[in-house]
Amino acid sequence: MANIWAKKSLTQLMDDATAEKGGLKRSLGRMNLLMMGIGGIIGAGIFALSGTAAANYAGPAVTFSFILAGVACAFAGLCYAELASMIPIAGSAYTYAYATMGEFIAWIIGWDLILEYLFACSTVAVGWSGYMISFLDKFLGIQIPSYLAEAPIKYDTLTGDWTSTGAFINLPAVLVIAIISAILYRGVQASATVNNVIVAIKITVIALFILFGFKFINMENLTPYIPDNSGVWGKFGWSGIFRASGVIFFSYIGFDSVSTAAQEAKNPQKDMPFAILGSLFICTVIYIIFATVMTGMVSYKDLNVSAPVAVAIDAAGDSLTWLSPLVKIGAIAGLSSVILIMALAQSRIFFTMSHDGLLPKFFGKVHSKYKTPYLSTVVTGVMAALIGGVFPIDLLGELVSIGTLFAFAVVCLGVLFLRYKQPELKRPFKAPFFPVVPILGVLSAVGVMSFLPGDTWIRLFVWMALGLLIYYFYGKKNSKVGNE
């Protein structure tokens, strides 16, 4: 029987990275890493989920939800920073778990990351679809038939009711995933320069929206700032603010992309903590200001759409007509890059787990010509396209959020575990106020998770149960580390 608690030593992780990657070049400086974090964070959360969170749960007080989620992320970010400085190789929470808590926990977090990245890819694609449909209709006069423009089912996250929309499939969401998967199949080297340009476009578009949308704020739209609770838990009032924080927690998952680049950082011990925490702080401030302007321009009741920024700009009338195409192009470009990052990350999770023997070998096959994990890429693309084409954005967003929160809790537990079990290890960066920060990281993650609906928890348990079956019948028997 495999040793389910077997760990990968730091030396083994370093050796594996050197052997497989050929020694990645440490070319990313502090600003490159910071921009990578900002680029990964700013996406569907601000361009799509901010609207549904305001419309369904928090109203204008969605800004408080962003603050709550940002604080919870800060605790996890400090723990990520400590582990990233200790284990400066390409990896993620899966790698950290394998090094700190053993194979079984690594499997749990790896399976959870599949939920996180796969559904994140689909969620962002649905947001992308909303902006593309709006752009084609308004500026090119091309109308996508409704039966090809939205999910065929609708889910009420408060009542748990499923209804039919009459649509067949969200075709734009399927197509964008297919196109990006084809690009990844042939091989794409994510350049720091290209990423910096995309981030600059995103920030410019957001800055234009804030600067020019500010004067169109109608204080009536912000009154009352915290709408009275409707009598249903989680629908407005303070319970709604906490509920919304769980939904928009998805907005912050991008800083994990920084930790995956640790092996390519020039000075990971110092620059990784700076990039992780800096990107979290900057994006939280942007989210708060952005949400204030958006809910001030248009009533939060009108923002329950996949492209809420487009609705806010359209509400301003002819005065902001010139800004509308720029914002939508910026959103489309920005969301495209996030889909690319999430799909790439998901295929790499499949690839890495396959290399460790925890998933079938075909996930680890590399294309003879393109040198990409092509089968992992195809599987990721097919699954993400089906999910994005069938399910609504609010349901997908909650699944991603609970998966992300679970990953954060495990990373914080990893820091606690290592501090007590291996206090002698070199820690270039230490999460301050130990053990308060990792404990608060676990509690805040679990606390925000508790405000997500019961159905979302059930789906998480079902997903994890499926993962345990796969591990028991395949991963445990084929593990390279556990069977050494």
Mind listing the pLDDT tens digit for each residue in 367-402? Answer: 787 777 889 889 999 999 999 998 887 778 778 878
Q: What are 103-130's pLDDT values in tens digits?
A: 998 899 889 888 888 888 898 898 889 8
Q: Which pLDDT tens digit goes with each residue over 396-412? A: 877 887 888 888 888 89
What is the per-residue pLDDT for 293?
A: 95
Confidence of residue 146 (pLDDT cuts 50, 70, 90): confident
C-alpha separations of 44 from 11, 50, 62, 139, 421 in Å: 38, 8, 15, 22, 39
1 assigned to some structural domain = no
Exposed, middle or buried, 78 (CB in 10 Å: 0-12/13-18/19+)? buried
Task: Look at residue 8 and tell me whether its pLDDT is greater than 70.
Answer: yes
**Residue 92 belongs to domain with CATH number:** 1.20.1740.10
The answer to whether residue 420 is domain-embedded is yes
Does 4 reside within a domain?
A: no
What's the mean per-residue pLDDT of the chain?
A: 83
Containing domain of residue 340, as a range? 10-478
For the chain, give the percent of residues with pLDDT over 70.
89
pTM beyond 0.75 = yes
pLDDT (0 to 100) of residue 193? 64
Beta-carbon contacts of residue 34 (< 8 Å; ≥ 6 apart): 274, 275, 278, 279, 282
User: Residue 190 above 70 pLDDT?
Assistant: no
Q: Of 190, 143, 189, 145, give the one whose Cα is nearest residue 167.
A: 145
Tell me the per-residue pLDDT of 229-239, one tens digit each, with 9 for 90 and over: 988 888 899 99
Residue 89 pLDDT > 80, yes or no?
no
Alpha carbons 311 and 226: distance in angstroms, whole number: 21
CB atoms within 10 A of CB 322: 10
pLDDT band at 24 (very low <50, low <70, confident <90, very high): very low
Range 167-180 average pLDDT: 92
Task: Report the number of distinct structural domains present in the chain.
Answer: 1
- Between residues 177 and 316, the one the model is more confident about: 177
Q: How confident is residue 310, by pLDDT bands cut at 50, 70 and 90? A: confident
What is the mean predicted confidence (pLDDT) over 414-434?
A: 86
Q: Is residue 483 domain-resident?
A: no
Distances (CA, A) of 424 to 128, 173, 242, 412: 47, 49, 39, 19
Q: 88 vs 63, which has greater pLDDT?
A: 63
- Grouping H, G, I as helix, E, B as strand and the rest as coil, residue 14 is helix
Q: What mean pLDDT do residues 408-420 have?
A: 88
Model confidence at 23: pLDDT above 50 = no
Dihedral of CA 464/468/471/476: which sign?
A: positive
